[in-house]
Structure formats: C-alpha cells, structure tokens
C-alpha cells in the first residue's frame, strides 16, 4: 500500500506555533473532563434531549470547538467551554447536570459571534457551528433539530472580518511521493485554493522545492497525512485530511481522486481539466474533500484548476525571502517592505495580485514582457491612467464578494459589490475599448449586453440602504417586485388598522390609557395599567394573557386574527424577498465570465500602479534576456530610498539616496565587496536582488536602465542572522542556509552573500568564506556579490580570474568618517570600527582608550616577522581579518601600498579607496601567522584597581585562552567585561 492509500488516520495534535499558540489545546477535543470517545453514545443516551444532540454532533468534530446554537446564543460545553472561556476571556458557568456533575458551559451572543470567531481563528482554533435547522413552531415537542452547518478553519474562510484583505488566504494539500522514490527527487503533488475567491492551482515539486513553494504561498492551512514530513516551521499549520473526524472517508487513490475532481468541476472526465499527475490529483482531491467537509457537504463554484508547469517560477527559498522583506518584515508587518514601496494599487484584488507577483517572480520571458507592455502603455497615457484610477478608486472587494455568493453566504453588501463592480467594468470597457493598443479589449457584444443587463437588474433590485444580514428584510427595493410590495403593504399598513382598533377599544371599555402594543412573544396585545386590568377581567370577550404588578395584557378575537394575518404577511414577504435575493444570486452565478473579468480588473489595477511608478521617470522598463548578462545603471533600493525620503519629508534632513551601478559580465561575474560597517554594503547587495525580483515579476525597476539575464534561482545569505526564536545557534543557521545555497545554485542563478562566516571564530570563518567563494566562482559559476569583512579575500584575484574586488567609498574629513555610499573598484583599507563606535555614541573616554589600545597593538606588530616566528594577534581584536594571511601562503604579505596599486583599476575609485590614512590597512592585512600555534593574549589590561571578583569570565579566559573555542556570544560577553574594566578609574 502506498502512502497516500493509507486509511485516514488522525495525525498527532499540532504543537503550538506562530499565531497558533492555543491551537494544540483545541485539538485535544472534549479532553479529560468530557466524555471519552467510547462513551459518546452512552453519554448521549443518558443526557437531556438538547445535550444528547450536542454529544452526537461533538462526536463528528472531536478536535474542533463546537459552537452550539441555543436561541440567541452559541454555547460551548465541557472542555470546549474551558478552552473558549480562557481564549476569549469570558465567564465559565455551568448548565444543568450530567451524571450528577455540573456541565461546564460558556456562551457568546449570536449577533456578535463574528468578533469571537475572529479571535478564535486568529489563535489557531478550528470552530464548528451547529445551527437549528428548523424554525420553532407551535406544538413542537423536544429540542429543535440541529446540525453542523460549517466548520471554520484557517484555510476555508470567506468573511472579510476574518481575512486580511491584502493577502490571499490559501488552503493547501500535499500528497507525498510514493515511498520508494522519497528522498530521491520524488515529486510531491501540491494543490492549493483560495476559498475566498474560488481559485485552484496544482503543481508538483521535489522535497527541496517544497520549502520554496511554502515560503512563496504561505498557506493558512496545510492538509497532509504526515505532518512530520513538513519543514518544521510549517508543522503548526498542518491538518489531517479528515480534520479529526473519525471514520468518515475511505482511502483515496488516484482513480477516486480523479472522480472527485470531475465531480467538483462538473465534468465527465477529469482529463478535460488538464493533465495532472496521480499525486497532483490526490492532493487536489484531498483539498476538495476537506473544503467540502468544512462547508457541511457543499463546495462553492471553483475556477478550473490552473496546472503549473515547473520551471516558470524563479526559485526563492525561505531564507532568501526572509532576508529580503518582500511582503512582510520580520515583525510580520508590511512596513518597510518591497510591497509597500511598490504598492499604488487602489483595490483589494489589485493589492493581492501585486503581492502574488512580487512573491512569485517568473523565468518565462513571454509572460514577463506581456506584463511590462500592460503598464508601459498606461505610463505613456497619463490622462487615460488617471481616468482608469477614477473608476477603480473605492471599488469593493469583488472577488471575495463573489466567493461568498458562490458559497451561499452572500451578504446584501456583496450583491451591491457586484453591482458597483459591473458598473466600473462597463465604464472601463468604454474607456479602454477606445484607447490605442489596449490589452484590455472590450468584451464581445453578447457578453457586454449580459453585463449590462445584470447590472440593470441589480441596480433596480437592491434597496438604497441595505441591511447587514441577508436574513433581514429590506434587501430588495420597493417597486422592483409587485408581489413583494403587496405583501409589505399588508404587513405595514396594519399600523393604521391598529390605531383605529385601539381608539375603539379605549372608548368601549372607558379606558383612555389602553394601548394596543406589539409584544415579542405574545404578538399584538391590549395593554392597560394593573388597576384597570382588574375591571377589564370582568369582560368575557377579553382573555387575560399576562398580569404584572404594573400591567395587565389581554387579547380578543379580533387581535388574534390580526396577529395571524400580520404574521402571515410578514412571513410571506420575507419568503418572497428571500426568493428574489436567491434569483439575484443565481443571475450573478450564471455570468460565468465574471470571475475572469474581475481578475482582469485586478491586473489593470496592478498595471496602473506600475505606471504610476514609471511616471516618476526614475523607474525603468528592465530589459530581460536569455543570456547571463547583468547590468544595472544607477539603481536604487526602493525601500531604503523611500524611508529616507519619508524622513526628509518630515524635516529630518539628510542626503538623498545614492544610486549605484552594478555590472557583472561573464568575465567579471563575481563581485567581492568590502567596506566599513554602515557604508552601505547590505543595502547595495539587496537592491540588486530586489531589482531582479521586480524585473522578473514584470514590474518597473528603480534604475536608469537595467539589463538582466533571466535568473533561475536567487539566493540571499546573511551571516549570523539572529534566529534564537527557532532555537538554533546562529552559526548553525548560517551554515544550513549556506549549504542549501551551495547545493542548489547554478550558472543561471544569482547569489548575494552578506558577511558569511561572521558567526564563528575568525579563522574558521575566513576559511569557510574562502571555500564558498571558490565554489561560487569555479564550479557554480553564478553571478555573485560577496560582501565580506575578510578583506584578505581580495588577494585571490589571481586564482579567481572572474572575481573583482569592489569597495564602498568612505572619506575621512576633520577626523570624522564620511560614508559616500558609493561602490567603486578597490578594497577597503581598514574597518573603521572605532569611527563607527563614535557615530553610535560610545562614550569618548572609551573611544580614546580603544584607539590607544589599537595603536599599541599596531606598534607591537610593526617589527618584521618571519613565518617561523609567529606573533599572535590579540584574540578579541581579530574580527577584521587579522590572521588571515595564513590561508594565502601562496601570496606575498601585502603592504597597504602594494594592495592599492594592485587593485588600481579605475582612477577615481581607487583614489578614494586608497586615500585611507596610513594605518588604514594595518589591521586588515596583519602579518603571517601560524594558526596551529596556540595564540596568547597580549593585551595589557589595567589590573591595578581590579579586584579578584571583577571580570571573572575574562580572567578565567586569560588563564587558558583559546579564542577559537568561543561562541560569538561568549566573545561578546568578554568584550563587555573588558569595556567595564576600561571604564574604571585607573
């Protein structure tokens, strides 16, 4: 039996994960206090009738919070009640008894349930809603029948209140490769859908690609048998295919899966949906089954599945995505992201499409160029673009409205959303149909006529002011339907009849304070003060209905008749109105072209958003090619630039962003970038990576010009990123990511590496950095920008002919460091650490002391050394590459002058880079040393005032110094102790 044929088994409960802190608990179901599985039926038999219903329903959804409708409340019982009371911070009470113990209970009012659902969903719970399926009626005995009408899970939501408007909300299913090819490049079947808009996508991927795909799509929920097969970060999103309900479905094989697909799309044979592999079909069917289960057996209308061929998407793994802040930053917000810098969309659908494109750059030239054409012509027709914007502005979220309409969950405002969208569509067709070279051709006349008639129907049918819920009266405008108007008149005109009746009764019984009033349970009644009530009791034609201390309520035959006429009219008018609403829903659903038209409008929105950027004149249409070229002129980092502009706008001053060019022709495809901290290295690296993403997403690029050979995979690696949250040592993370890069990158890839090897001892770090650089240059042959603090790597130009050293320009001016943020050929002479420390506000005495120590150390290293007389550098000051040269024993030890003359390629750049003060290169270049000899710490520390208990760790370290055994964190701590010592008066 292959894996996917295994019977559905509940996977272990999820570990609490990001945003899912409490979900683990929900998955325990009724838990300890509630009935165990074996006793469900037994318990139900002993319970009160309503509780018996609850037991029966709970058995269907043991791992889901069951919200059980009781009148105006949804109630939760047993462990569900405990969980929800804690999660929602509401009171836990008890309701009746079961087997002599009180039943724990909590409840939320039905009219505000959305807010509670939102909180539960956000905390990762699944929630089932059990509703009364019949209306209360007279003479009915026992509880109303109830059933589960919906299971809300993170991936199957449709409500705007529960969704983020700027992101798709995806449900994904994964079918693993057959067991015998697992781990050998076997392919996973992947299917995903956006339930809120009804789109479905199918693809295959290898295990390696799976991580990339997950990072790209960020599904809200993942259906998978074996959650352990997922990368750890995604396990909290995993859900068993049966959603925890037991024994509901039999095994799924490819044939059954294809049948499921055929049924979902109402086709005879799944083959007509496109060629899907067995695994793709199984993933798709798993997803459809799960979606259907969540909707209590029905599926909304779905767009036909889009089957993605591999090789059309650029590879971007999760480490790369995380380091580039494409759609969200590390804090999860969209502030300072690429999306934010690019987004000028006006509609929710446009925003989602733009996000999707940024997250999913292509490698397919034709599609990229089509997207470019779509906005380029708009950028040239500014007047037209403005008109387009006027039509798009303020439009409702039509895709999601349509999604709710398709899942029979339409709100009145969803119908209005379609009405307004149709109006905008028709106007845009008129506008763009006349425009030259428009990619948005007006539709066929027949379709155009259908759009117009649907719009007219909705415009006439919908009332001006719509109620919030579809079940409320007043959705349909008066004047639209004669019969509805008649029923409403009957219902409403009774007011006059009642007033007449009231006057008559008051006179007849001599009771001026008599009123005919409507009472929620009794219907219309005669109401008099209690004193008069005594007198009225004497009239046999009046039946007393209720007496309180203050009031007496009566009815008579005429009122009873009135009540039933009114109730009937109200019921009939509601029924009539619901029927009309249903007709509108059907008319909307019958227009099958609508989803595609709405999607087109989202694409138009993205196009105008791009055109708005291009209009500023500082963004270009990138030229994409099939070769390995890379040539950006005057490129900028859109996010950093925007942040700097924002600051200037606020009066914060500061210089404008400095553009930088970057050319990596095949003969110079590896750029080695050095420069002091804060000089702009990381910014430069990322701006090149972002330019590639923007270009291949079909978007404009913030540069004077850009020529980019299609990149198949983009890698961004940042040394020693702190990832304590994931519980991995920073260096381990760095190396894991580096390993993935070295295994996957190829000659069509683009790699940016920022400070590789920072997380370990300097010699290890340098060795690893050099080995990686060699691999990138020699065997991987990717276009590479390698920013490093190991300046000595620049000495490798002889061995690595396609590598060129570049440096960030800096100047020293009146003892201050000036960053020019300009990239020029050359090598940074020194690291300027003390200058940066000054900028950061380290107190002056410490800076002076550090400078003195630095001078001392440099003086000590001045005497000439031979390789056989190693001198050891001060261990904690090694960070900038001291000790590097041993790895380059084939190179002569470089003097600062030798270095700058060797790299003297272009006049201007070298001049700047080599205009460093005399001590500039001395720290960086160091002498030659023997890494095998145990280094000794040669710093003289101010010990006079230090008692035995100061700096204990530093002292312990100095007794037996072994810098290579220190973690970066330990080294840090030692530095702090050293700093404290320096601060003490001497």
Among 27, 203, 334, 683, binds ligand ADP (CB under 6 A): 683
The residue nearest ligand ADP at its CB is 680
Report CA dihedral (333, 336, 338, 342) to the nearest 10 degrees.
Answer: 100
Which stretch, 296-304, 527-535, 674-682, 767-775, contacts ligand ADP (CB under 6 A)?
674-682
Contact 655, 822 (CB under 8 A): no
Beta bridge partners of 316: 714
The binder of ligand ADP chosen from 602, 640, 714, 768 (CB under 6 A): 640
Instruction: Give a three-class secondary structure readout of 215-277.
Output: HHHCCCEEECCCHHHCCHHHHHHEECCCCCCCCCCCCCCHHHHHHHHHHHCCCCCHHHHCCCC
* Residue with Cβ nearer ligand ADP (435 or 836): 836
**Which residue in 294, 682, 878, 922 binds ligand ADP (CB under 6 A)?**
682
Long-range contacts of 809-817 (CB under 8 A, 24+ apart): 809/675, 809/679, 809/909, 809/912, 809/913, 810/675, 810/676, 810/679, 810/912, 811/912, 811/915, 812/916, 812/917, 817/676
From Mg ion, ligand ADP, none, interface partner of 821 (C-beta below 5 to 8 A by class)? ligand ADP
Q: 3-class SS at 282?
A: helix
The smaller minimum CB distance to ligand ADP, of residues 440 and 619, is found at 619
Angle between helices 398-406 and 348-359 (to 10 degrees): 100
**Partner interacting with residue 683 (select from Mg ion, ligand ADP, none; CB below 5-8 Å by kind):** ligand ADP
Torsion sign over Cα 562, 564, 565, 566: positive
Q: Are 502 and 516 a contacting pair, CB within 8 Å?
A: yes
In the complex, minimum distance from the CB of residue 202 to ligand ADP, in angstroms, rounded to a whole number: 41
Which of these ranges, 597-605, 674-682, 744-752, 820-828, lies near Mg ion under the rule CB under 5 A?
674-682
Residue 821-860 contact track with ligand ADP, rule CB under 6 A, x = bound: x---------------------------------------
With CB under 5 to 8 Å by kind, the binding choice for 680 among ligand ADP, Mg ion, none is ligand ADP
Distance of alpha carbon 499 from alpha carbon 494, whole angstroms: 9
Contact 14, 21 (CB under 8 A): no
User: Residues 243, 151: contact at Cβ < 8 Å?
Assistant: yes
- CB of residue 640 vs ligand ADP: minimum separation in angstroms? 5
User: Whole-angstrom Cα distance, residue 488 to residue 482?
Assistant: 10
According to CB under 6 A, which one of 303, 346, 597, 679 is a site residue for ligand ADP? Answer: 679
Rounded least distance, CB 754 to ligand ADP, Å: 7
Residue 83 to residue 106: CA distance in whole angstroms: 10
Question: Residue 759 CB, nearest distance to ligand ADP (Å)?
Answer: 16
Structure tokens at 260: 């499921």
Q: Which of 419, 681, 748, 835 is in the footprint of ligand ADP by CB under 6 A? A: 681
Residue 640 binds which of ligand ADP, Mg ion, none (CB < 5-8 A, kind-dependent): ligand ADP
Residue 499 and residue 507 in contact, taking contact as beta carbons nearer than 8 Å: no
Smallest separation (angstroms) from ligand ADP to the CB of 620: 18
Residue 726 beta carbon to Mg ion: minimum distance, rounded to whole angstroms: 21
Binding site partner of 679, from ligand ADP, Mg ion, none, Cβ cut-off 5-8 A by kind: ligand ADP
User: One symbol per residue from 312 to 351: x for binding Mg ion (CB under 5 A), - otherwise; what is it?
Assistant: ----------------------------------------
Task: Encode 913-926 in three state secondary structure.
Answer: HHCCCHHHHHHHHC
- Choice from 280, 677, 688, 900 touching ligand ADP (CB under 6 A): 677
The label of the residue with tokens 């044939």 reads: 255
Rounded to the nearest whole angstrom, what is the least distance from the CB of residue 358 to ligand ADP in the complex? 21
**Which CB, 205 or 682, lies closer to ligand ADP?**
682
Quote the least distance from Cβ 687 to Mg ion, whole Å: 13
* Shortest spacing between CB 744 and ligand ADP, in angstroms: 25
**Beta bridge partners of residue 476, listed in sequence order:** 462
Q: Which residues on adjacent β-strands are paired with residue 544?
A: 554
Q: Which of 105, 552, 678, 721 forms a contact with ligand ADP (CB under 6 A)?
A: 678
# chain residues binding ligand ADP, by CB under 6 A:
13
Least distance CB 877 / ligand ADP (angstroms): 19
In angstroms, the first-to-last Cα distance of the chain is: 78
Could you say whether residue 682 binds Mg ion (CB under 5 A)?
Answer: yes
CB nearest Mg ion: which residue? 682
* Three-point CA angle 394, 397, 402, nearest 5°: 140
Distance CA 214, CA 222 (A): 10
- Nearest to 399, CA basis, from 432, 441, 351: 351
Smallest gap from Cβ 676 to ligand ADP, in A, equals: 7
Residue 720 makes contact with ligand ADP by CB under 6 A: no
Q: Which of 30, 130, 40 is nearest to 80 (CA)?
A: 30
Q: Which option in Mg ion, ligand ADP, none does residue 64 bind, with CB closer than 5 to 8 A by kind?
A: none
Residue 191, SS3 per DSSP:
strand
Pairwise CA distance, residues 291 & 196, whole Å = 11
Tell me whether residue 972 or residue 983 sits nearer to Mg ion (CB atom): 972
Q: Tell me if residue 299 falls in helix, strand or coil.
A: coil
765 binds ligand ADP (CB under 6 A): no
Q: Compute φ and ψ for 442, nearest 5 degrees.
A: -65, 145
The CA dihedral of 965, 967, 970, 974, to the nearest 10 degrees, is 60
Other beta carbons within 10 Å of 950: 14
**Per CB under 5 A, does 363 bind Mg ion?**
no
Task: Kindly state whether residue 887 participates in binding ligand ADP, applying the rule CB under 6 A.
Answer: no
Enumerate the β-bridge partners of residue 642.
none
Q: Show contacts with ligand ADP in window 185-244 (CB under 6 A).
A: none
In the complex, what is the shortest distance from the CB of residue 945 to ligand ADP, in angstroms, rounded to a whole number? 36
Q: Closer to ligand ADP by CB, 20 or 320: give it.
A: 320
Residue ranges in 646-665 that form contacts with ligand ADP under rule CB under 6 A:
657-658, 660
Between 288 and 718, CB nearer to ligand ADP: 718
By rule CB under 5 A, what count of residues binds Mg ion? 2
CA distances from 710 to 217, 607, 759, 940 (A): 22, 22, 32, 56
Closer of 345 and 682 to Mg ion (Cβ): 682
Q: Given the rule CB under 6 A, which of 154-162, 406-414, 524-532, 670-678 is the region that contacts ligand ADP?
A: 670-678
Which residues does residue 682 pair with via DSSP β-bridges, in sequence order? none
Q: How far is the CB of 660 from ligand ADP (least distance, A)?
A: 6
Tokens of 816: 């201050």
- Positions in the binding site for Mg ion (CB under 5 A): 681-682
- Positions in the binding site for ligand ADP (CB under 6 A): 640, 657-658, 660, 675, 677-683, 821
């Amino acid at each position: 039996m292959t894996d996917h044929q295994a019977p559905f088994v509940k996977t272990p409960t999820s570990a609490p994960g990001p945003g899912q802190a409490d979900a683990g608990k929900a998955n325990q179901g009724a838990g300890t206090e509630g009935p165990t599985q074996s006793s469900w039926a037994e318990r139900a038999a002993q319970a009160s009738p309503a509780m018996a219903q609850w037991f029966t329903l709970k058995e269907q959804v043991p791992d889901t919070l069951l919200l059980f409708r009781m009148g105006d409340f949804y109630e939760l019982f047993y462990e569900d009640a405990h969980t929800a009371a804690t999660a929602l911070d509401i009171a836990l009470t008890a309701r009746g008894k079961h087997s002599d113990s009180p039943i724990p209970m909590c409840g939320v009012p039905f009219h505000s349930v959305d807010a509670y659902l939102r909180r539960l969903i956000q905390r990762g719970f699944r929630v089932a809603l059990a509703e009364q399926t019949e209306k209360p009626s007279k003479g009915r005995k026992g509880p109303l029948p109830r059933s589960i009408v919906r299971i809300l899970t993170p991936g199957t939501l449709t409500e705007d209140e529960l969704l983020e408007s700027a992101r798709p909300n995806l449900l994904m299913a994964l079918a693993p490769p057959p067991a015998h090819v697992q781990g050998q490049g076997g392919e996973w079947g992947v299917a995903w859908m956006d339930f809120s808009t009804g789109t479905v996508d199918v693809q295959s991927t290898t295990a390696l690609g799976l991580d990339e795909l997950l990072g790209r799509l960020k599904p809200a929920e993942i259906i998978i048998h074996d959650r352990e097969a997922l990368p750890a970060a995604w396990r909290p999103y995993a859900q068993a295919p049966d959603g925890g309900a037991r024994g509901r479905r039999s095994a799924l094989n490819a044939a059954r899966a294809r049948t499921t697909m055929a049924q979902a799309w109402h086709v005879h044979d799944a083959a007509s949906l496109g060629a899907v592999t067995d695994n793709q079909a199984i993933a798709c069917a798993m997803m459809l089954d799960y979606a259907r289960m969540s909707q209590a057996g029905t599926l909304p209308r779905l767009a036909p599945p889009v089957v993605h061929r591999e090789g059309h998407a650029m590879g971007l793994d999760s480490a790369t995505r995380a380091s580039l802040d494409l759609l969200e930053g590390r804090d999860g917000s969209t502030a300072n992201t690429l999306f934010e810098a690019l987004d000028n969309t006006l509609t929710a659908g446009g925003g989602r499409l733009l996000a999707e494109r940024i997250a999913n750059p292509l490698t397919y030239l034709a599609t990229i160029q089509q997207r470019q054409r779509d906005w380029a012509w708009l950028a040239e027709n500014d007047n037209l673009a403005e008109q387009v914007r006027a039509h798009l502005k303020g439009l409702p979220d039509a895709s999601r409205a349509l999604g709710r309409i398709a899942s029979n969950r339409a709100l009145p405002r969803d119908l209005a959303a379609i009405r307004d969208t149709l109006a905008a569509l028709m106007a845009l067709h008129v506008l763009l149909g006349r425009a030259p070279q428009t990619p948005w051709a007006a539709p066929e006349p027949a379709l155009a006529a259908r759009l117009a008639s649907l719009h007219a129907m909705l415009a006439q049918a919908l009332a001006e002011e719509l109620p919030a819920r579809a079940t409320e009266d007043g959705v349909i405008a008066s004047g639209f339907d004669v019969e509805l108007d008649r029923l409403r008149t009957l219902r409403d005109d009774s007011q006059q009849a009642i007033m007449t009746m009231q006057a008559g009764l008051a006179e007849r019984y001599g009771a001026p304070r008599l009123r005919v009033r409507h009472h929620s349970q009794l219907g219309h009644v005669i109401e008099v003060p209690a004193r008069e009530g005594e007198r009225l009791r004497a009239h046999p034609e009046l039946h007393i209905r209720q007496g309180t201390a203050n009031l007496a309520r009566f009815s008579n035959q005429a009122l009873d008749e009135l009540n039933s006429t009114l109730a009937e009219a109200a019921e009939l008018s509601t029924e009539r109105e619901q029927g009309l609403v249903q007709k509108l829903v059907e008319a909307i659903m019958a227009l099958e072209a609508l989803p595609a038209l709405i999607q087109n409008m989202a694409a138009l929105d993205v196009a105008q958003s791009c055109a708005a950027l291009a209009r500023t004149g500082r963004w270009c249409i990138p030229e994409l090619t099939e070769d390995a070229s890379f040539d950006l002129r005057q490129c900028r980092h859109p996010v950093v630039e925007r942040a700097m502009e924002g600051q200037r706008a606020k009066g914060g001053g500061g210089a404008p962003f400095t553009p930088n060019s970057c050319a990596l022709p095949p003969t110079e495809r590896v750029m080695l970038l050095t420069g002091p901290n804060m000089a702009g290295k990381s910014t430069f690296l990322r701006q090149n990576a972002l330019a590639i993403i923007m270009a291949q997403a079909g978007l404009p690029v913030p540069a004077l010009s850009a020529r980019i050979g299609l990149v198949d995979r983009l890698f961004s690696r940042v040394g020693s990123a702190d990832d304590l949250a994931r519980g991995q040592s920073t260096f381990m993370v760095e190396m894991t990511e580096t390993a993935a890069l070295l295994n996957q990158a190829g000659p069509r890839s683009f790699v940016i590496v920022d400070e590789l090897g920072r997380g370990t001892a300097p010699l290890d770090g340098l060795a690893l950095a050099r080995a990686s650089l060699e691999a990138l240059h020699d065997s991987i042959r990717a276009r590479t920008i390698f920013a490093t603090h190991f300046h000595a790597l620049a000495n490798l130009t002889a061995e690595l002919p396609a590598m060129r050293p570049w440096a960030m320009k800096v100047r020293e001016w009146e003892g201050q460091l000036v960053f020019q943020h300009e990239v020029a050929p050359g090598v940074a002479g020194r690291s300027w650490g003390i200058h940066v420390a000054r900028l950061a506000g380290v107190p002056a005495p410490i800076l002076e002391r550090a400078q003195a120590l630095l001078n001392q150390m440099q003086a000590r290293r001045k005497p000439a050394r031979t390789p056989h007389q190693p001198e050891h550098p001060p261990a904690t000051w090694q960070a900038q590459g001291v000790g590097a040269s041993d790895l380059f024993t084939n190179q002569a030890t470089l003097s600062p002058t030798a270095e700058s003359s060797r790299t003297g390629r272009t006049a201007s750049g070298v001049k700047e880079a080599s205009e460093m003060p005399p001590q500039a290169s001395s720290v960086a270049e160091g002498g030659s040393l023997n890494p095998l000899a145990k280094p000794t710490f040669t710093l003289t520390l101010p010990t006079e005032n230090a008692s035995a208990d100061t700096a204990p760790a530093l002292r312990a370290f100095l007794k037996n110094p072994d810098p290579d055994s220190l973690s970066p964190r330990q080294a840090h701590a030692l530095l702090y102790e050293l700093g404290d010592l320096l601060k003490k008066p001497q």
